[in-house]
Structure 1
Amino acid sequence: MLYLNSLNGKVLKWEENIAGICLFLISFLVFFAALLRAVGHPQAWMSDLSQLLFGWVIFLGSDLALSQKRHIGVEFFEEKLPMFWRNRIADIWSVSIIGFLGFVAYYGWFLATKSRREFDSLEISEFNVVIFLAVSFLCLLAFDFFRSNKKSLQGYLFSLLVIVLSTAYILFSWDISKQAEPLSYAFLIASVPVGCVLMIRTELVSVAERWSRKNG
């Protein structure tokens, strides 16, 4: 259970870092887009990129809020029940939440794969998207490593290996285009299934912790 909590904490820290960077970029892009529009030099790509990042901030932030139990809830009636029934209600809610998130993740992925809309002002090749994501994850991994106590070197090396092998597999196995084309809305819609899967993970960890306390 300790290993599970440690791994979950690492994932949440990464999510927090990514969401924070995206939120900073959104503020930066929106401010300068308005400034450039005011002086007669509008930049449509800034608005489109901030819209793309906003979707990811929403779902990463939702998972962070779920992990800290900061979503809206009504506890007035629950607090009047014995602990046994509180645990049973919590289990029922967890199953309901996981089922709902699974449903949304499935159809979110379906919409992402079927999306035909594009950001006309954002042109980039699929090859550059893969490289950008790989480099971004490597930078986050390095940043997290130097901020940590550096004791879990094996875990970081394993994460590094996964990133490198995954990138190599995509580049050599997928039909990756190097021609710049308008970025698909699929990259925005993909935040829905990814965010839902992350929240399912968080809810499963919460269930595991609850059962560990009951049986421990």
Structure 2
Amino acid sequence: MLYLKSFNGKVLKWEENIAGICLFLISFLVFFAALLRAVGHPQAWMSDLSQLLFGWVIFLGSDLALSQKRHIGVEFFEEKLPMVWRNRIADIWSISIIGFLGFVAYYGWFLATKSRREFDSLEISEFNVVIFLSISFLCLIAFDFYQSNKKHIQGYLMSLVVLLVFVGYILMNWDVSKQAEPLSYAFLIASVPIGCVLMIRTELVSVLERWSRKNG
């Protein structure tokens, strides 16, 4: 259980860093897009990129809020119940949340794979997308490693190996085009199923922690 909590904490920290960077970029892009539009040099790609990043900020932020119990809730009636009933209601609520998120994740992934819309102002090749995401995750691993004062090097090396194997598998087995094309809306819609899967993980960790406290 301690290992699970440690791993979940790492994932949440990475999500927080990614969401923070995306939020900074959104503010930067929106500000300069408005500034350039005011002087007669509009840049449509800035608005489209900020829209793409905003979808990811929403779902990463939702997972962070869920992990800290900061979503809206009504506790007036719950606080008047015995602790046994509070735990039972919490378990029922968690199961309901996981079921709903699973439903949204399934259809979100379905929509992402079927999406035909494109960002006309954003052109990039599939190969460059893979390389960009790989370098981004590599930077996250390195940054987190130095933040931890270079502790637990085996875990970071394992993460690096998994990343390299996964990227190598994609480049060798997928038909990754190097020709620049308009970026698909699938990269925006994918934030829905991935965000829901992250929230399912968070809710499962919460359930396991609650059960370990009851049985401990």
Corresponding residue for 1:129? 129
Corresponding residue for 1:190? 190
Distance 2:206 2:53 in 1: 28
Structure 2: give runs of 5+ residues left out of the alignment.
none
Corresponding residue for 2:11? 11
Distance 1:85 1:149 in 2: 43
Corresponding residue for 1:65? 65
Distance 1:163 1:45 in 2: 30
Distance 1:98 1:20 in 2: 26
Query: What is the number of equivalent residue pairs in this alignment?
Result: 216
Distance 1:173 1:116 in 2: 23
> Which ranges of 4 or more aligned residues in structure 1 deviate by more than 6 Å?
none
SS of alignment partner, residue 71 of structure 2: coil
State the one-letter code of the partner of 2:153: L
SS of alignment partner, residue 3 of structure 1: helix
Shift of 1:151: 1.9
Distance 1:54 1:108 in 2: 16
Corresponding residue for 1:51? 51
Corresponding residue for 1:151? 151
Distance 1:23 1:30 in 2: 11
Cα deviations by residue, 1:172-199 (Å, 9 ceiling, x for unpaired):
1000000000000000000000000000
Distance 2:26 2:175 in 1: 31
Correspondence 1:79-118 to 2 at 5 A: 79-118=79-118
| TM score, norm. by length of structure 1 | 0.99
SS of alignment partner, residue 179 of structure 2: coil
Distance 1:152 1:8 in 2: 16
State the one-letter code of the partner of 2:136: S
Shift of 1:207: 0.2
Q: Is the contact made by 2:98 and 2:203 (CA closer than 8 Å) also made in structure 1?
A: yes
Identity score, percent: 89
Distance 1:176 1:151 in 2: 36
Corresponding residue for 2:206? 206
SS of alignment partner, residue 122 of structure 1: strand
Shift of 1:150: 2.1
SS of alignment partner, residue 122 of structure 2: strand
Structure 1: give runs of 5+ residues left out of the alignment.
none
SS of alignment partner, residue 156 of structure 2: helix
Distance 1:164 1:8 in 2: 22
- The RMSD of aligned alpha carbons is 0.4
The yes-or-no answer on 1:34 pairing with 2:30 is no
State the one-letter code of the partner of 1:173: N
State the one-letter code of the partner of 1:12: L
SS of alignment partner, residue 182 of structure 2: strand
Q: Is the contact made by 2:48 and 2:121 (CA closer than 8 Å) also made in structure 1?
A: yes
Q: Is the contact made by 2:145 and 2:151 (CA closer than 8 Å) also made in structure 1?
A: no
Distance 1:58 1:166 in 2: 27
Corresponding residue for 1:140? 140
Distance 1:123 1:166 in 2: 24
Shift of 1:149: 2.9
Shift of 1:152: 1.1
Distance 2:63 2:3 in 1: 20
